[in-house]
Amino acid sequence: MADGSVLLSNDAGFTAAVSKADFARFSAGRLGSGEKLYGELAAKGFVREMTDFEGFAAACSKKNAFLGAGPGLHILVMTLRCNHKCLYCQSGALGAAGGRTDMSRAVARKSVDFALKSTNPGITIEFQGGEPLLNWDTLKDSVLYARRRAKELGREVRLALVSNFSLMTEEKARFLVENEVSVCTSLDGPADLHNKNRIFTGGNSHADTVKWLKYFIGRAAKQVPEYKTFNPSALLTVSKYSLGREKEIVDEYLRNGLTDIFARPLAPIGYAKNLWPKIGYSAGEFAVFYRNTLNYILKLNAAGKKIRERHAVIMLEKIINGSDPGYLDMRCPCGAAIGQVAYNYNGDLYSCDEGRMVGWEGDDLFKIGNVLKDSYRKVMLAPASRACAAASNLESQPQCSRCVYKPYCGVCPVYNYETQGSLWGDMPSSGRCALSMGMFDALFALLKKPASAKILKGWVQK
Ligand code: SF4
Ligand code: SF4
């Protein structure tokens, strides 16, 4: 670690930070069994002859409980059309005119039926695009159909909408709240920064976003008796323009009543690949941004403000609670097909939304079937489903299998394929691996400081 200590981890997800001198004694077998550190390491499963294998197995099993569940996230691409032209867009969206790439009601209903075949007991159907509100009639029909079928089948179904809110109206918003469709949008910071990233020639993207965030948060705060709690969320995509503006961005989230901020690095794929020299940055630059953001959030927490960073929450859930937070892009194997399925407007099925975007560029490597033709079993056993599971198994990644962050990390076959030309990729030269390391380094450094550790642990306390 940066302070010269050595971080240890094991497959059950336990960690211990020890000084270099103690580590040298421990690895040479010279740590006395009566020493406090020996007791700590033994209790955490680092001493073979003292390991409680039943406890160790129970911890492994809890951590990997998702393995037998089946896909929980079902992303329905309502349309490829969008009225924004965001600098970093990966979705392959088209302009707002025409309806050639809109999902029909028939395909949407088939998609809902397919999602309900999942063996996962609690599924989420997420409506995405392009901008899904451009295909409102199908979206509305799908919501009502999913609610009806879930009731008939006695299934737990969560519904979610990812939208830029620019086409939201009072009538649509009421419908979403009444049918318990949670909403998620993008908020990249103050107006000038947000609008620089999220180009909307038909209006002011930032103004629409904050207007409707306020509306939906107001609904949640009121907890209108006939509605259940309804918590809107927002995503932050970090472009080069965000660097150095950490405080302003966090303040913007607080100002708009949001209690979580999800600082997501850019990936050099989709539109962002071509614009990388203009909007991209190095993993080191992102690490600085991430550290500054976390430090500022912790300072606000210490002053009594309520706000968390989502990546940290995801990692802490694994590190502190030893459980899987359901984040599909950072787990082993990753969520491709076995954790999520993306349904394209025409019924084609992909391992994930990122796999669908590769398909949109003309390469169907990540296609796993079609909702109108293929059975659930066939889709789950498709070559791409199996290849992604194998490629994202960290045990088969030479660098990951020896990495201290392995118990909490995950690799992305789509990212590897797009940036390095193979599903397995090469972690020592992978930009995504470097980004993950930067975030883990920042978090573990903070966990070593008692004051920040107390706040961070509070974020995931049950
Ligand atoms: S991707 Fe990188 S940080 Fe993650 S486990 Fe592999 S080597 Fe470690
Ligand atoms: S392939 Fe990548 S984007 Fe797709 S589920 Fe896996 S980690 Fe996520």
DSSP letters spanning 42-106:
HHTT-SGGG--HHHHHHHHHHHTGGGGT---EEEEE-BSB-S---TT--S--B-SS--TTBPPHH
* Residue among 392, 417, 420 to mutate when testing ligand 2 (max atoms within 8 A of CB): 392
pLDDT of residue 93: 64
**Protein residue whose Cα sits closest to atom 4 of ligand 1:** 409
Q: Are residues 224 and 124 in the same domain?
A: yes
pLDDT of residue 114: 98
pLDDT of residue 229: 58
pLDDT of residue 37: 96
Residue at 363 is within a domain: yes
Ligand 2 closest atom vs CA 330 = 7
Ligand 2 closest atom vs CA 392 = 6
- The number of distinct structural domains making up the chain is 2
Q: Are residues 59 and 125 in the same domain?
A: no
pLDDT of residue 222: 67
Q: Are residues 59 and 89 in the same domain?
A: no
pLDDT of residue 225: 59
**The length of the chain, given as a count of residues:** 462
Containing domain of residue 24, as a range? 1-63
Ligand 1 closest atom vs CA 411 = 1
Say if residues 17 and 6 touch (Cβ distance below 8 Å).
yes
Label residue 323 exposed, middle or buried (CB < 10 Å: 0-12, 13-18, 19+): middle
Q: Are residues 214 and 344 in the same domain?
A: yes
Residue at 86 is within a domain: yes
Residue at 124 is within a domain: yes
Q: What is the CATH number of the domain that holds 372?
A: 3.20.20.70
Q: Are residues 253 and 363 in the same domain?
A: yes
Q: Are residues 22 and 162 in the same domain?
A: no
Q: Are residues 136 and 220 in the same domain?
A: yes
Tell me, using a 6 A CB cutoff, whether residue 406 lines ligand 1.
yes
Residue at 416 is within a domain: no
Instruction: For the chain, give the longest Cα–Cα distance.
Output: 75
Instruction: List own/partner pairs for 398-406 with CB under 8 A and 24 or more apart.
Output: 398/427, 399/427, 399/428, 399/433, 400/427, 404/7, 404/8, 404/9, 405/9, 405/436, 405/437, 405/440, 406/9, 406/332
What is the 82 CA–ligand 1 centroid distance (Å)?
35
Cα–chain center distance at 15: 23
Residue at 389 is within a domain: no
Q: Are residues 30 and 135 in the same domain?
A: no
**Protein residue whose Cα sits closest to atom 3 of ligand 2:** 354
pLDDT of residue 408: 97
Q: Are residues 43 and 100 in the same domain?
A: no
Q: Are residues 140 and 103 in the same domain?
A: yes
Tell which of 12, 38, 63 closes a domain. 63
Say if residues 316 and 330 touch (Cβ distance below 8 Å).
no
Q: Are residues 83 and 232 in the same domain?
A: yes
**Protein residue whose Cα sits closest to atom 7 of ligand 1:** 400
- Confidence (pTM): 0.94
**Protein residue whose Cα sits closest to atom 1 of ligand 1:** 433
Residue at 237 is within a domain: yes
pLDDT of residue 269: 80
Mean pLDDT in consecutive groups of 10 residues from the start of the chain, 462 residues = 93 94 95 95 93 93 93 97 85 71 97 97 95 97 98 95 96 93 96 94 92 89 60 93 98 96 90 85 97 98 97 97 95 98 98 94 96 98 98 96 97 96 97 97 96 97 84
